[in-house]
Amino acid sequence: MACPAAVPPAALQVPRHAMCQAPRITLPVTSRPAAKAQTASPDTSARMPQPQSPAATSTAVSMRRDTVTGGVQATVARQVTPGRPGGAALNRDGGPKLKAPGGRKPPPEKSIDEYRENSNVQVDSVPEELRKDCVLFYCPETEALAREVAVRGGGNIQLGDVHWRSFADGFPNLFVDNAVDIRNKHVAFLASFHEPRVIFEQISLIYALPRLFVSSFTLVLPFFPTGTMERVEREGEVATAFTLARLLSNVPLSRGGPTSLVIFDIHALQERFFFGDAVLPLFESGIPLLLERLQKLPDHDNITIAYPDEGAHKRFHSSFKRAGYPEVICTKVRDGDARHVRIKEGDPSGRHVVIVDDLVQSGGTLIECHNMLATKGAAQVSAYATHGVFPNYSWQKFKADSGAGASSGF
C-alpha cells in the first residue's frame, strides 16, 4: 500500500482552492449589549427601551455639543437583528450566529480533538464563488499526476507548459510557454524533490513564476525530502530540513502576497517553524484516503491499526481513534548495538493489522514490525506509508503474502 515518493496518494486530492488564493469576505459585525444610554445633559435622563434579546442589538452612538447648556449629548441608535423570538440566535459565547455567504449554514463547531485530526480540506465544502481557475505547471516527473489533477478539476485547472532543457555544461535551460498569458491568473506548480539533482532546476522555475505578474502562486510539494533531518544531536551535524525550508522561504512574492506551500505528511509538524514569512505552509495528509480505503476492504470490521514507534502513534492516533479502530503500539528496544521492535501495548491476534507510518525508506523497521506482529498471532499484516522512498531497490526486501497468512509476508 506504499506509494512512490514523487506521487503520494494524498496528492490526488489536492483541493482546487489550495492552488489559488481565495478573495476575502467581510461579514457585518453585531455588537455586544450596550449599557443603559443616558444623555450627558442635566435635564435629560430618559431610559432607552431595551430589546428582549440584548445580544441581537447593533448600537451606533453619535455625540454632539448642546448649544444651550454647553454639555455633550449622546444619541444612541439601536437595530434589532431578526432571529429567534426576542432577538437573534445565539452561539456558545452569547454572541449572534452569523450565516455563511449564500445562505448556507456555518460549519459546526469542532472540539479540540477534532482539530487535531489529519483531515484535509474537502473540495465540496468550498463555496462555488470562492473557486477560481488555475494554471498548473509541473515537472517531467509529475506530468501524469498533473494531468489527472486537471481532469478531476472539472475544467477549472489548465495545464501550463515548460520546456525542460539543459545547456552543454548540464545546467538547466528553461522556458515558460505563453508567459504573458498567465498574467493576472492564479498559478500553481506541482514539484517533486525526489533526488538532489532536480532541485536546482525546479527551484529556478519556482522563483521565476511569481515574477510573471500572476495573481497568486501555490507550490505543491507532496514530499519534503529532508524532513527526517530536522534536529541536531551532536555539534557539527547539519539540519538539512532547515536548509531546504530556507530555500523555499525565499520564493518571491506574487501580486497576491506570500506563496502557499502545500506539503503532505511532513515528517515532523514542528518543521512549519523553519519557514519564513514569505511562504504560508499548509500541511495536508494521506490518512483520510487510507480511512476511505479501509472501509472498502472485505474484512474492514477486523482491522487493527499498528504504529511502528511512538512517534507515529502520536502523529496519527487521533484519526484512527475517532474511526473506532483498535490499535497496537510498537516500540524500539536497544539490545547492545542492535535495536529490536517490541509490542508496547495492544493485541494483534486474529486481526488484519495495518502498519501506518508517514515514510518508509529502507523498510527495516516495517519488516521487523511485521515479523513481531506475525509471531503474536496476527492473521494478516499490511502496511501503509504516504511516502515510499525505497533507496537502492530496498522494496525488493518485502515479501508478498502467498496465502499462508501473516507469516509468509505482507
Question: 16 or 223: which carries more pLDDT confidence?
Answer: 223
CATH 3.40.50.2020 for the 287-397 domain, yes or no: yes
Local structure of residue 182 (DSSP, 8 states):
G
What's residue 74's pLDDT? 46
Q: Which candidate, 224, 207, 292, places its Cα nearest to that of 262?
A: 224
Helix (H, G, I), strand (E, B) or coil at 134: strand
Top-level class of domain 127-284: alpha beta
The pLDDT of residue 377 is above 80? yes
Q: Count Cβ neighbours within 10 Å for each residue of 316-338 and write b for 16 or more, e otherwise.
A: bbbbbeeeebebbbbeeeeeeee
Q: What average pLDDT score do residues 165-192 get?
A: 96
Q: Indicate where the chain has its CATH 3.40.50.2020 domain(s).
A: 127-284, 287-397
What's residue 402's pLDDT? 76
The pLDDT of residue 120 is above 80? no
Contact 288, 118 (CB under 8 A): yes
pTM of the model: 0.68
- pLDDT tens digits along 81-97: 444 444 444 454 455 54
pLDDT classification of 226: cutoffs 50, 70, 90: very high
Q: What average pLDDT score do residues 59-69 get?
A: 46
What's residue 129's pLDDT? 56
Edge-to-edge strand ranges of the sheet holding 216-221 = 157-159, 134-138, 186-190, 216-221, 259-264, 279-284
Question: Between helices 287-296 and 310-323, what is the axis angle to 10°?
Answer: 50
The pLDDT of residue 177 is above 90? yes
- pLDDT tens digits along 313-332: 999 999 998 889 999 999 98
What's residue 121's pLDDT? 60
